[in-house]
Structure 1
Amino acid sequence: MKIKWFGHSCFMITSEIGTKILIDPYVNMLGYMLPELEANIVTTSHEHKDHNNIDAVKGNFQHISGLGMFLEHGIEIKGVDTFHDKLSGAKKGRNTIYNFKVDGVNICHCGDLGHILDSKQIEEIGNVDVLLIPVGGGFTIDATDALEVVEQLKPTVIIPMHYRTKALGPMGLAFAKVDKFIDTSGIKSMNYSELELNKENLEKYQGIAVLKYK
């Protein structure tokens, strides 16, 4: 499969047979710009416009925004209930974590997770090979809490998201840079334009994989 980052929390996962899963498409308000995209499956973690812009997506796709188990185009998807803050959603509402099984690899996208996980959530999420996790703080967990979630889920590959980049301009001051997460973690990191993963080469990419925007 291929994993490409379009900035913020938006990723495209393309399976070996070409099934396209788009996660958390945004409106062009952040400094990031979505290209024209087609997908077979679109998931949205919560109803904020920087995560749920399904109108930007072309094609006849299946939109998933709920909890529980789904099977679409041969892709197993599990939605797990979490919160956007540390107050059980009182400030920012609920958030859905999605775990996708693609080509035998479990990819977990945390959306705008705002807290560390409890034991029930960890059990519901299940096995995680690749973790897409917010690290910039401000509106989500910060570097310290993100590392605790990494310890809870024990992925092989960690892909940070929702952090400050040059593309964000003044808006980026609300987020920390990815360097803070990397430096705090002490985990080996590498930069990639996109990742091409499978069950056989997963260990090759062990550690933090920083994906480039454009």
Structure 2
Amino acid sequence: MPRFPVLAAFFLSMIFGWSAADAQQKPARPEPSQCQAIAQSLPKASFASFSSPGPILANDLVDGDVKITFLGHATFFIETPGGVSIATDYSGAYPPPYTADVVTMNKAHPSHYTLTPDPAIKYVLHGWSDVPGEPAKIHLTVGDTLIRNVVTDIRSWGGGIEANGNSIFIFEVAGLCIGHLGHLHFELTDQQYAEIGRLDVVMVPVDGGLTMGADSMSRVVKRLRSSLILPMHRWGPPIDQFLALFGPDFDVGYAPTASVTVSLKTLPRKPLIYVLKGL
């Protein structure tokens, strides 16, 4: 057995009064965000997807596939190579095929959350704080997935602004950066783009007004420059009105099913707006 860890623990105990048992029981530091790493040094940059994103989390299954299924409205079901299952903007109205390990929620409308989730769900993540105006702070590793959030303001029912009322949830798994914009009401600031970092896959509301106007939302999508764009939250205008805002720099595809399977190796080289069946 190598002597260095034992010696290190001994010297720490001599200097700081720690025991070897104390050192072993110290909580592990949270996994760093690899999707945000570039953004931290370039806060005003526009971020693009790259086929080789650099360092990968130690517990990522880099060669694995992530399956994303559109269940309805703003709810997607994400299944990771490590067996973690996640339902986004979960209200219970669009149940996944089996109980998710994690559900994320936003509160702009009741169709994006529930206060009575299935008690079998292990992690229920609110995109808002119980303290008015305070940001929700989520940085959680579940199996092979790092889950974090970036807060944005929303319009309140009284016509004002509710600070930090929405969360953009980001799932870092298998080397991929997957983002769900939630109920986004305002174009993102430079600081928010920096906090988000790189997004390879992004789920975008395309209702044309309940969140943001189509022009504003298309500017967000263009600046994020994700490899795979999955429309969601379509109310009112046909999807073609949103797609018409993108030129030859974006491809458009219509999926034969409600699911798509993606990995670092299969990300499209050119940004693809992919309309899953059921939208």
- Write the distance in 2 (CA, Å) between the matches of 1:85 and 1:137: 15
The residue aligned with 1:7 is 72
Superposition pairs for residues 1-214 of structure 1, below 5 Å?
A: 1-26=66-91, 28=93, 33-34=94-95, 37-46=98-107, 48-53=109-114, 55=116, 57=118, 59-65=120-126, 66-85=136-155, 90-91=160-161, 94-164=165-235, 175-186=236-247, 187-192=250-255, 193=257, 194-203=259-268, 206-213=271-278
- For residues 146-187 of structure 1, the C-alpha deviation after alignment (integer angstroms, 9 at most, x for no partner) is 1110122121111111113xxxxxxxxxx3221111112133
TM-score by length of 1: 0.83
SS at match of 1:70: strand
- For residues 81-133 of structure 1, the C-alpha deviation after alignment (integer angstroms, 9 at most, x for no partner) is 102349xx825661111111021110010000011100110000111000101
Question: How high is the sequence identity, in percent, across the aligned residues?
Answer: 28
- Write the distance in 1 (CA, Å) between the matches of 2:82 and 2:177: 17
- Write the distance in 1 (CA, Å) between the matches of 2:270 and 2:277: 15
Instruction: Judge conservation of contact 2:77–2:96 (CA < 8 Å) in 1.
Output: no
- Write the distance in 1 (CA, Å) between the matches of 2:124 and 2:102: 6
- Write the distance in 1 (CA, Å) between the matches of 2:189 and 2:208: 19
* Higher RCO (CA < 8 A, seq sep 6+): 2
The residue aligned with 2:40 is none
- Write the distance in 2 (CA, Å) between the matches of 1:129 and 1:149: 14
- Write the distance in 2 (CA, Å) between the matches of 1:8 and 1:60: 20
Aligned residue type for 1:20? S
Aligned residue type for 1:8? H
The residue aligned with 2:14 is none
Please list every run of 5 or more consecutive structure 2 residues that lacks an aligned counterpart in the other structure: 1-65, 127-135
Q: Tell me how many residue pairs correspond in the alignment.
A: 199
- Write the distance in 2 (CA, Å) between the matches of 1:35 and 1:77: 19
Runs of 4+ in 1 over 6 A off after TM superposition: none
Structure 1 residues 59 and 200: alpha-carbon distance in aligned structure 2, compared to 1, 3 A threshold: same
Structure 1 residues 18 and 35: alpha-carbon distance in aligned structure 2, compared to 1, 3 A threshold: closer
TM-score by length of 2: 0.65
- Write the distance in 2 (CA, Å) between the matches of 1:57 and 1:191: 33
Query: Which 10-residue stretch deviates more, 185-194 or 14-23?
Result: 185-194
Query: Which 10-residue stretch deviates more, 41-50 or 99-108?
Result: 41-50
- Write the distance in 2 (CA, Å) between the matches of 1:201 and 1:57: 34
SS at match of 2:186: coil
Q: CA deviation at 1:206?
A: 3.7
Q: CA deviation at 1:139?
A: 1.4
RMSD (CA atoms)? 2.5
SS at match of 1:185: coil
Structure (1 or 2) with the greater strand fraction = 1
Instruction: Judge conservation of contact 2:140–2:148 (CA < 8 Å) in 1.
Output: yes
Aligned residue type for 1:188? D
